[in-house]
Amino acid sequence: MTVIGVTGPSGAGKSLFCSYLEELGCLHLDCDKIYHDLVDSPSECTRALEAEFGAEVIKPDGSLDRIALGGIVFAPGADKLRGKLNEITHAFVLAEVRKAIAETDKVCAVIDAPLLFEANFEKECNFTVALLASPELRLSRLTLRDNRTAEALKARMNAAPADEFYSSRATYTVINDGDADKLRAAANDILVKAK
């Protein structure tokens, strides 16, 4: 089993790139989706978050109240709480990733993780890919995808690590300039390197 880690800033096109790898036969493990699946209903993960952050972060149906939790972990000076949140959630997401890899009959898996390096998920990978795009292109994509103001999107982009954070850690760097054919070809090249 070859495991490829894909990361990069928001709006760089990670999901599209990973969908091309999936079309080429890889198991696509979207860590954001796995996280949402874990917290959108009562689970061991939501119980662990309740134990750490209190009952106010859990909705009456047992799912995570992301707004309430966000108010706690993104408050000024809440770095340690945010670290604890990541410690809890990354452990549960990683367990699901490992389970899916163990159960698949595919010969390749791609871990799609915005926080691949921060969560140390690169240790699960044979190699990693940093997907990058210009700030203008990323803002354009995020504007179409997310229901947020340009100011909120720019603040989110500015809070992300610089491109060098990703490219200096990744095995390969792919620049997504918006040309879908070039991105598909890059996905194919990555799989050739994986073999």
Q: Which amino acid is at 24?
A: L
Whole-model pTM: value is 0.89
Rounded distance between C-alpha atoms, residue 7 and residue 73, angstroms: 23
H or E, element range at 195:
none
Q: What is the phi/psi pair of residue 176, to 5°?
A: -100, 105
Rounded distance between C-alpha atoms, residue 187 and residue 18, angstroms: 8
pLDDT in tens, 38-78: 999 999 999 999 999 999 999 999 999 998 998 898 787 88
Q: What is the pLDDT along the chain (195 residues), one digit of tens a residue?
A: 999 999 999 899 999 999 999 999 999 999 999 999 999 999 999 999 999 999 999 999 999 999 899 889 878 788 899 899 999 999 999 999 999 999 999 999 999 999 999 999 999 999 999 999 999 899 888 888 877 777 777 777 777 789 999 999 999 999 999 899 999 999 999 998 877
Give 109's strand partners.
Answer: 3, 27
**By three-state DSSP, how is residue 194 classified?**
helix
Give burial (CB, 10 Å; 0-12/13-18/19+) of 24. Answer: middle
